[in-house]
């Protein structure tokens, strides 16, 4: 009885390995070899964006290098990175969590509280804030992962609702209630305070995106990442092989929570405060929409979905209040004046036309023999 072929010995795997070999790369057309360097070209363009005076009418209000445009671009990068980290759970491990916003808010609120109440400088406060987010992810993940499937999703939703209520009730004046908490200006580094330093905040958001992409890429390609894929496809089979899925799922949960906590710190810098909107389960649902919109489980899909969703969320509000919409008949004006309606329509059209997300646009149809 011959053993089953391993992934390294299957014909499809052999073909992919041969295609990725240096000899195959040398024989590839020049345009295809250059095409593999497009992430580096995009990164260079993003790094130099603050120095650009190019205007993109309809996409941005002013030149790319203006403070308002850089602020919007920085938010797009932050939420694109946040969606990429969330997809580590959803797309790579098969865990549908409704409480991911908690760790984002934990990084934001903890950093602000430590800086304001303990009097520490901002960067040590940020490190401690991220550690608080990691500790919260480990504590809640240890409980939630005792169950699986829909039960796991419901437990994370319960944690999210409890955290949101706690923040809104403002016990002891710690969270600021519905108004949130603003970062003390004297605790911020001089290079990050004021509209004149928006470019520095933008570069921090870009650094967070690069960090998230690198961590997710490394984690997915590691031996632990292979186990995550096995858990996503068939958790029972992983157990039969003698592995404990609980420990691997907890690692994924904590890594995703740590990335979210770092994103909370960056968001705190961009917005100047911690807001209760980042603690709700609706915030996590927005992340879910971003991931599905771009393409769950793909390398660039969650990033693309996060950037597009964040840009549309901010820009469609301007479109809804424009003269072009106000002059339409009421049948069209009423729905088009609601940005959430436009976002929902965009999401439904994408899901129906491209079930695999926007990344399906770049894939060629495969013909199976």
CA distances to 15, 33, 41, 322 from 36, in Å: 18, 6, 10, 41
Q: What is the mean pLDDT of the chain?
A: 83
Task: Tell me the C-alpha distance between 289 and 82, whole Å.
Answer: 12
Contact 210, 80 (CB under 8 A): no
The answer to whether residue 318 scores a pLDDT higher than 60 is yes
Helix axes 122-144, 245-271, angle to 10 degrees: 150
Q: For the segment 61-120, what is each residue's pLDDT rounded down to a tens digit?
A: 888 888 889 999 999 999 999 999 999 999 999 999 999 999 999 999 999 999 888 888
Q: Which residues contact 148 (CB under 8 A, 6 or more apart)?
A: 235
The answer to whether residue 366 scores a pLDDT higher than 70 is no
The answer to whether residue 356 scores a pLDDT higher than 80 is no
pLDDT in the model for residue 114: 92
The answer to whether residue 14 scores a pLDDT higher than 60 is no
Question: SS3 letters for 7-60?
Answer: CCCCHHHHHHHHHCCHHHHHHCCHHHHHHCCHHHHHHHHHHCHHHCCCECCCCC
Q: The tokens of 187 are what?
A: 């605790």
CA neighbor of 269 nearest in space, from 350, 344, 188 = 188
Task: Tell me the C-alpha distance between 152 and 144, whole Å.
Answer: 6
The answer to whether residue 140 scores a pLDDT higher than 80 is yes
pTM for the predicted model, two decimal places: 0.85
Task: Tell me the C-alpha distance between 256 and 263, whole Å.
Answer: 11
Give the mean pLDDT of 332-356: 74
| 22-36, 138-152, 183-197, 328-342: least confidently modelled range | 22-36
Residue 101 DSSP SS3 = helix
| 114-118, 122-126, 290-294, 319-323: least confidently modelled range | 319-323
HSE, CB side, 13 Å, CA atoms: give it for residue 330.
Answer: 0
CA neighbor of 274 nearest in space, from 89, 114, 154, 158 = 114
CA neighbor of 235 nearest in space, from 258, 217, 219, 252 = 252
| 105-114, 128-137, 309-318: least confidently modelled range | 309-318
How many CB atoms neighbour CB 195 within 10 A? 10
The answer to whether residue 132 scores a pLDDT higher than 90 is yes
The answer to whether residue 368 scores a pLDDT higher than 60 is no
CA neighbor of 176 nearest in space, from 128, 108, 122, 119 = 108
| 247-251, 257-261, 295-299: least confidently modelled range | 295-299
Task: Tell me the C-alpha distance between 184 and 181, whole Å.
Answer: 9
pLDDT in the model for residue 70: 92
| 60-69, 153-162, 310-319: least confidently modelled range | 310-319
| 107-111, 249-253, 324-328: least confidently modelled range | 324-328
Give the mean pLDDT of 50-54: 89
Give the mean pLDDT of 227-238: 91
Place of tokens 């934990």: 106
pLDDT in the model for residue 3: 41
Residue 273 DSSP SS3 = strand
The answer to whether residue 45 scores a pLDDT higher than 50 is yes
The answer to whether residue 206 scores a pLDDT higher than 70 is yes
Percent of the chain whose pLDDT exceeds 70? 83
| 2-6, 171-175, 269-273: least confidently modelled range | 2-6
pLDDT in the model for residue 361: 74
Confidence band (pLDDT; 50, 70, 90) for 369? very low
pLDDT in the model for residue 324: 66
pLDDT in the model for residue 216: 95
Q: The tokens of 245 are what?
A: 């899925």
The answer to whether residue 19 scores a pLDDT higher than 50 is no
Contact 88, 95 (CB under 8 A): no
The answer to whether residue 9 scores a pLDDT higher than 50 is no
Q: The tokens of 130 are what?
A: 């991220």
Judged on CB neighbours under 10 Å (0-12, 13-18, 19+), 115 is: buried
């Amino acid at each position: 009885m011959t053993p089953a072929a391993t992934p390294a010995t299957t014909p499809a795997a052999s073909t992919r390995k041969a295609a990725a070999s240096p000899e195959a790369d040398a024989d590839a057309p020049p345009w295809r070899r250059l095409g593999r360097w497009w992430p580096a070209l995009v990164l260079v363009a993003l790094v130099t964006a603050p120095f650009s005076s190019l205007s993109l009418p309809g996409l941005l209000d002013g030149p790319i290098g203006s403070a308002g445009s850089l602020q919007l671009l920085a938010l797009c990068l932050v939420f694109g990175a946040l969606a990429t980290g969330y997809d580590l759970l959803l797309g790579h491990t098969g865990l549908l969590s409704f409480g991911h916003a908690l760790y984002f808010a934990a990084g934001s609120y903890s950093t602000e509280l430590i800086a304001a109440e303990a009097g520490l400088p901002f960067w040590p406060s940020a490190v401690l804030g991220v550690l608080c987010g990691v500790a919260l992810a480990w504590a809640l993940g240890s409980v939630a992962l005792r169950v699986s499937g829909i039960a796991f999703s419901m437990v994370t939703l319960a944690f999210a609702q409890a955290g949101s209520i706690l923040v809104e009730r403002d016990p002891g004046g710690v969270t600021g209630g519905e108004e949130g908490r603003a970062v003390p200006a004297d605790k911020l580094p001089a290079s990050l305070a004021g509209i004149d330093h928006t470019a520095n905040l933008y570069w921090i958001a870009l650094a967070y995106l690069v960090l998230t992409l690198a961590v997710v890429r490394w984690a997915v390609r590691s031996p632990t990442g292979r186990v995550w894929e096995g858990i996503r496809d068939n958790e029972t089979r992983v157990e039969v092989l003698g592995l404990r899925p609980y420990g691997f799922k907890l690692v994924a949960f904590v890594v995703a929570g740590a990335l979210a906590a770092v994103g909370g710190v960056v968001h705190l810098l961009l917005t100047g405060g911690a807001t209760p909107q980042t603690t709700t389960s609706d915030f996590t649902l927005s992340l879910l929409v971003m991931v599905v919109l771009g393409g769950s489980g793909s390398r660039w899909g969650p990033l693309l979905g996060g950037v597009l969703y964040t840009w549309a969320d901010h820009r469609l509000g301007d479109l809804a209040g424009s003269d072009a919409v106000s002059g339409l008949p009421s049948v069209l004006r009423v729905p088009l004046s609601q940005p959430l309606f436009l976002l929902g329509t965009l999401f439904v059209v994408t899901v129906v036309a491209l079930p695999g997300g926007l990344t399906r646009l770049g894939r060629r149809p495969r013909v199976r023999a």
